[in-house]
């Protein structure tokens, strides 16, 4: 973890409150020294955890000051008690920082259906606010991990009209990652100055280009959210189209990097695979094909086995529900053409494709020759460890 990652005007902390076992970090806090504009994108799952409902209501255009986030407990399916607990988490932080409780956002991740251990969070309040510091993002990123094996903390810097500005993202992912709101927690801090509506639009676009184009296991969670806080500390002001493009490009780049790291660290992942579909009748058709291939257990287990099993990919393409002509499809592993004119390209191509499959990252190119629609999706293999991790998760 790069301890030098920080964002001017922001402080962060991560501590062990005893929510998880073994004294692992499990409670994090982000604090802006001045009021920050907030934007958010939330899970589309109809079953939503208490902190999702609370935070969604508070990200409405007003300014906020802090985000408190915990791992080890999702505070989901916890009824009225869960609503009270989420609100109380905000109050604990607000009291420690002398803020109105409505200025504090809340996020939780972990097991569904258990009540938050509020006694532990109450007791940890002073330590949490006391640990705040501009160097605290590393601990924060660790405090939100569940089955992640490495923390995700990324920085980007840009310049607008002579003003340097910074973007910092702390994220957690692992299982339950798929389109329709790539399921995870991601918190972005920036010292750029921007108002709520354009910030919300930029976030939506960046998420569509990044976190909504990845898949680990096809499940979506009840707790996921991406939040951005912009505190304007840098003086870099985003108002006109040119300024907005600079900010958008940097935010896109940041979240694409987050997305790739989430897939790389997906549960049991040994291969990161980009599915590139082109020549579909529309982008929507291309997305359906990419999505079907990216989620096929047979394709994903073949990736794990380093098997250039193009037959399973073609079979997945064929059941995507999109009109196509099988004999027109070209299939590449990286630059190796493996399927053309309705048939495999023979043993020599297979030898070369097998070499591609041994790499930790590669692409599968699917050209349909039906039109101009394209889509890209990042996926991973399905490993023995994925099953072991998820069979044992609660025990």
Q: Is 243 in the site for a copy of itself (CB under 8 A)?
A: no
- DSSP code string of 219-280: ---SS-EEEEEE--TT--B--SHHHHHHHHHHHHHHHHHHHHHHHHTSTT---EEEEEEEEE
Residue from 62, 100, 113, 360 binding a copy of itself (CB under 8 A): 113
> How many CB atoms are closer than 10 A to CB 218?
17
Place of tokens 């407990």: 73
Q: Does residue number 200 form part of the binding site for a copy of itself (CB under 8 A)?
A: no
Closest distance to a copy of itself from the beta carbon of 90 (Å): 21
Write down the catalytic residue from 43, 183, 190, 374: 183
Note the Cα 159 to chain centre separation in Å. Answer: 25
43 tagged catalytic: no
- Minimum Å gap between C-beta 313 and a copy of itself is 10
Return the number of the residue (67 or 302) whose C-beta is nearest a copy of itself: 302
CB 153 within 8 A of CB 168: yes
Q: How far apart are CA 109 and CA 70, in angstroms?
A: 6
Least gap, CB of 392 to a copy of itself (angstroms): 6
Compose the 307-346 pattern: x for residues touching a copy of itself by CB under 8 A, - for all others: x-xxxx-xxxxxx---xx-x------------x-xxxx--
Looking at residues 59 to 98 of the shown chain, list those that interact with a copy of itself (rule: CB under 8 A).
74, 76-79
Give the nearer residue to a copy of itself in terms of CB position, either 126 or 323.
323
Q: What is the CA radius of gyration of the chain?
A: 22
- Contact between 11 and 132 (Cβ < 8 Å): yes
User: Measured between alpha carbons, how far is 127 from 122 in angstroms, rounded to an integer?
Assistant: 10
DSSP-assigned states of every residue in 132-149: -BTTTHHHHHHHT-SS-S
Site for a copy of itself in 349-388 (CB under 8 A): 382-384, 386-388
Does 219 sit near a copy of itself (CB under 8 A)? yes
**Phi, psi angles (nearest 5°) of residue 111:** -70, 140
Tell whether residue 46 is a contact of a copy of itself (CB under 8 A): yes
Q: Catalytic amino acids? A: 183
Residues that bind a copy of itself (CB under 8 A): 44-48, 74, 76-79, 111-113, 175-176, 180, 217-222, 295-298, 301-302, 304-305, 307, 309-312, 314-319, 323-324, 326, 339, 341-344, 382-384, 386-388, 390-395
């Amino acid at each position: 973890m790069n301890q030098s990652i920080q964002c001017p005007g922001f402080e962060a902390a991560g501590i062990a409150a005893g929510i998880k076992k073994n004294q692992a970090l499990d409670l994090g806090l982000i604090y802006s020294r001045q009021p920050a504009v907030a934007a958010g994108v939330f899970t589309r799952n109809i079953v939503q955890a208490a902190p999702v409902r609370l935070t969604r209501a508070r990200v409405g255009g007003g300014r906020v000051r802090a985000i408190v986030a915990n791992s080890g407990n999702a505070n989901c399916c916890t009824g009225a008690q869960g609503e009270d607990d989420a609100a109380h988490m905000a109050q604990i932080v607000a009291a420690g920082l002398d803020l109105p409780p409505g200025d504090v956002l809340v996020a939780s991740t972990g097991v569904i259906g258990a009540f938050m251990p509020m006694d532990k969070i109450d007791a940890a309040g002073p330590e949490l606010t006391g640990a705040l510091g501009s160097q605290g993002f590393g601990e924060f990123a660790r405090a939100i991990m569940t089955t992640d094996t490495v923390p995700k903390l990324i920085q980007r810097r840009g310049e607008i009209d002579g003003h340097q500005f910074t973007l910092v993202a702390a994220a957690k992912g692992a299982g339950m990652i798929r389109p329709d709101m790539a399921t995870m927690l991601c918190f972005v801090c920036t010292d750029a100055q921007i108002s709520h509506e354009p910030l919300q639009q930029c976030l939506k676009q960046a998420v569509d280009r990044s976190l909504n184009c990845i898949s680990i296991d096809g499940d979506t969670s009840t707790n996921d959210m991406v939040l951005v806080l912009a505190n304007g500390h840098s003086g870099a002001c985003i108002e006109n189209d040119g300024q907005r493009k600079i900010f958008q490009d940097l935010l896109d780049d940041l979240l694409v990097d987050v997305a790739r790291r989430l897939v790389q660290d997906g549960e049991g992942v040994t291969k990161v695979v980009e599915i590139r579909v082109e020549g579909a009748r529309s982008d929507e058709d291309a997305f359906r094909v990419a999505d079907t291939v990216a989620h096929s257990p047979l394709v994903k287990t073949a990736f794990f086995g380093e098997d250039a099993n193009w037959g399973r990919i073609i079979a997945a393409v064929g059941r995507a529900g999109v009109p196509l002509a099988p004999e027109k499809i070209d299939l590449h592993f990286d630059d190796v053409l493996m399927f053309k004119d309705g048939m495999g390209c023979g043993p020599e191509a297979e030898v070369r494709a097998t070499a591609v499959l041994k790499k930790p990252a590669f692409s599968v190119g699917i050209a349909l020759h039906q039109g101009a629609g394209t889509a890209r999706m990042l996926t991973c293999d399905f490993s023995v460890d994925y099953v072991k991790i998820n069979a044992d998760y609660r025990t």
